[in-house]
Amino acid sequence: MLRLEPRGAHSRWWTYASPVLAMALTVVTSAIIFSILGKDPLESLYVFLVAPLVSSSGLPELFVKAAPLILIGVGLSLGFRANVWNIGAEGQYTLGAVFAGGLALAYPDAPALLLIPAMIVLGCVGGMVWAAIPAYLRTHWNANEILTSLMLTYVAQLLLIYLVTGPWRDPEGYGFPQTALFSMNATAPILVDGTRVHLGVLVALLAGILGWVVLTRSVIGFQLRVLGQAPRAARFAGFSQNRLIWLSLLTGGGLAGVAGMFEVAGPVGQLTPQISPGYGFTAIIVAFLGRLHPIGVIFGGLILALSYLGGETAQIDLGMPNAVTGIFQGVLLFFLLACDVLILYRLRGPRARAAGGA
């Protein structure tokens, strides 16, 4: 029998090898699922994982899809480091889109040089406002932010539906639940001609780099890490827990709001009830796949962006349901959590004595 033996210390090697192993196992499992579904597993894997990249628009599209995941994932990873479990990024993303979208609809003719920065700021504010509610409830009433932030996600979705079916509905939209398309001035500038790569992609990459500096080099990042690993030590050092909770949630909410702003000002181009294919939740997997490390989050974001693209090509080329994306993401999270055991334990082969250890 194989058995687990405590290492007594974190394995640095496995901290980074675990996601790689998890991805390999996920690919193998996906192949098995494909063959059970009656598809050729190798061809399916090619369609799901490779075809989206080799198509002419592949790589740019990957970055477009990854941008919101990275923006949200960076914010979440900072908070998760401090044991602040913001699960409601989806709602903060929605509010960011609503705030920025409202501005875009109100001042469609404002100069882009003013309008776009103002939309970024307002998107950020929108996400922060939504994240401030769980922060207040946590710091004043000790209400669990996992529950409050998650529940607010549904409130945000209903608010969005109310706006696009009610006051903000496009009068020329044949009654569809959507706003008017944003003006050219309110559209995120394209960075690479002939692609959809917009300003948000650059902002996401910068957020990753900035997040890395904050986490590893700054006093604030240190405070977040200490709070997460040893709350009493944080108090001993004089780091205010409430301040750090506010900071974590506002940062996560703000970045999610910016992600929402760029998504509606970029690929979507208007407000509709379907502005997110679950980016706020997928970003949780991104954060863990990236080891709660902002640079890792960039890679994690690209990998999960591929699962969205692959899901689309699998739908078109293989006639598979869209649920393939969700299954792939779920299996990946499952293996990731399982492989993380190897960070603290090592596998040992058969031995005469039974497993020991406390």
Of the candidates 103, 145, 94, 135, the one whose C-alpha atom is nearest the C-alpha of residue 259 is 94
**Smaller CB distance to other proteins: residue 6 or 321?**
6
- Tell me which amino acid residue 289 is: L
**Which residues inside 207-246 make contact with other proteins, applying CB under 8 A?**
217-220, 222, 225-226, 229-230, 232-233, 235-238, 240
Does residue 140 belong to the site contacting other proteins (CB under 8 A)? no
Q: Which of 2, 36, 54, 358 binds other proteins (CB under 8 A)?
A: 358
Count the residues of the shown chain that bind other proteins, applying the rule CB under 8 A.
25
CB of 300 to other proteins, least distance (A): 22
**Smaller CB distance to other proteins: residue 3 or 169?**
3
β pairing state of 3-6 and 345-348: antiparallel
Give Cα 139 to chain centroid, integer Å: 25
What mask of x and - would describe binding to other proteins in positions 161 to 200, judged by CB under 8 A?
----------------------------------------
CB of 246 to other proteins, least distance (A): 16
**Smaller CB distance to other proteins: residue 222 or 334?**
222
CB of 213 to other proteins, least distance (A): 8
CB of 346 to other proteins, least distance (A): 9
Give burial (CB, 10 Å; 0-12/13-18/19+) of 166.
exposed
Annotate 179-194 with DSSP letters as a single string: -PPPPGGGSPPBSSTT
* Bridge partners of residue 3, in order along the sequence: 348
**Which residues inside 2-41 make contact with other proteins, applying CB under 8 A?**
7-10
CB environment 50-86: b (16+ within 10 A), e (fewer): ebbeeeeeeebbbbbbbbbbbbbbbbbbbbbbbebbb
Q: Report the SS3 class of residue 111.
A: coil
Site residues, other proteins (CB under 8 A): 7-10, 217-220, 222, 225-226, 229-230, 232-233, 235-238, 240, 353-354, 356-358
